[in-house]
Amino acid sequence: MGDWSEYFEDFPEENQANYFGDRFDPVGAKAQHQAQQKSALKLRNEQQQLDAEIAAIVQKHKPVA
């Protein structure tokens, strides 16, 4: 038997990643996964910007030794 990817190519309904909610919908599931990835990337970028801003504020108000 081949690896799992070959199995899921033959039996896509067995791959849980092809389900959107409780129904088999590979297209909907793929769109949902892409939307989640896009959202996570946006959140990560916003957090990086906030972290940089906080670091700049801390540096600006750091007492002189």
pLDDT digits (tens, 9 = 90+) for 20-32: 888 999 999 999 9
Rounded to whole angstroms, how far apart are CA atoms 50 and 29?
A: 31
pTM: 0.64
* E strand or H helix that includes residue 46: helix 26-60
**What is the per-residue pLDDT for 54?**
97
To which residue do tokens 């919908």 refer? 25
* Per-residue pLDDT band at 60 (split at 50, 70, 90): very high
Q: Where is average pLDDT lowest: 1-5, 7-11, 49-53? A: 1-5
Average pLDDT, the chain: 91
CB 26 within 8 A of CB 33: no
Rounded to whole angstroms, how far apart are CA atoms 50 and 14?
A: 42
Q: Is the pLDDT of residue 43 over 70?
A: yes
